Structure 1
Amino acid sequence: MKRKVVIAGGTGFIGQYFNDRLAKSGYEVHIISRLNNHIMWKDHHGIVAALDGADMLINLAGKSVNCRYTDKNKDEILKSRTETTKILSTAMLACENPPPLWINASTATIYRHAEDRPMTEAGGELGEGFSVDVGKAWEQAFFNFKLEGTRRVALRMAIVLGSGGGAIEPYQNMVRFGLGGKQGSGKQMFSWIHIEDLYRIVLFMRDHENLSGIFNASAPVPVSNSDMMASMRRAMNRKAGLPAAKWMLQMGAAALGTETELILKSRWVVPERLEQAGFKFQYETLDQALAEIVKS
Structure 2
Amino acid sequence: MKKLVIAGGTGFLGQALARHFTRKNWEVVILTRNTQAPTLAGRLVAWDGKTLGPWVQELEKAQALVNLSGKSVDCRYHPRNRREIRESRLAPTRVLSEALQNAKAPPSVWLNAASATIYRHSLDTPMAEEDGEIGNGFSVEVCQAWEKALFEAPLPGIRRIALRTSMVLGHAKNSVYPILARIARCGLGGKLSTGEQMVSWIHVTDFVRAIEFAIEDEDLQGPLNITAPAPVRNCVFMKTLRETLGIPFGLDHYKPLLEVAAWILRTETELTLKSRFAVPAKLLQHRFVFYYPFVDEALSDLAMHRNRTASPFDPHLLELQKP
* TM-score above 0.5, yes or no: yes
Deviations 1:18-69 (A, max 9, x none): 1111112111111112103432125623222100110100010000000111
Q: Which consecutive unaligned segments of at least 5 residues does structure 2 have? A: 37-44, 307-323
The code of the aligned residue for 2:198 comes to: M
Deviations 1:80-107 (A, max 9, x none): 1111000101111121100001011110
The code of the aligned residue for 1:245 comes to: Y
SS in 1 for 2:258: helix
- Taking the aligned partners of 2:125 and 2:51, their CA distance within structure 1 comes to 45
5 Å-filtered alignment, 1:208-223, equals 208-223=217-232
Alignment pair present for 1:255 and 2:264: yes
The number of residues matched between the two structures is 295
- Taking the aligned partners of 2:223 and 2:234, their CA distance within structure 1 comes to 26
Q: Please tell me whether the aligned partners of residues 5 and 55 of structure 1 are also in contact (alpha carbons under 8 angstroms).
A: yes
Alignment pair present for 1:65 and 2:69: no
SS in 1 for 2:230: coil
Name 1:46's counterpart in structure 2. 54
CA RMSD of aligned residues (A): 1.2
Name 2:237's counterpart in structure 1. 228
- Taking the aligned partners of 2:136 and 2:52, their CA distance within structure 1 comes to 35
Q: Return the offset for 1:11.
A: 1.2
Among 126, 130, 140, which residue is 1:132 paired with?
140
5 Å-filtered alignment, 1:148-187, equals 148-165=156-173, 166-187=175-196
Alignment pair present for 1:34 and 2:33: yes
Name 1:267's counterpart in structure 2. 276
Q: Return the offset for 1:219.
A: 0.3
- Taking the aligned partners of 1:49 and 1:5, their CA distance within structure 2 comes to 13
Mean Cα deviation higher: 240-249 or 28-37? 28-37
The code of the aligned residue for 1:190 comes to: V
Alignment pair present for 1:244 and 2:243: no
% same residue:
43
The code of the aligned residue for 1:54 comes to: A
5 Å-filtered alignment, 1:59-208, equals 59-165=67-173, 166-208=175-217
SS in 1 for 2:223: strand
Q: Please tell me whether the aligned partners of residues 47 and 91 of structure 1 are also in contact (alpha carbons under 8 angstroms).
A: no
TM-score (norm 2): 0.89
- Taking the aligned partners of 2:51 and 2:161, their CA distance within structure 1 comes to 25
Q: Return the offset for 1:3.
A: 1.6
Mean Cα deviation higher: 66-75 or 36-45? 36-45
Q: Which consecutive unaligned segments of at least 5 residues does structure 1 have? A: none
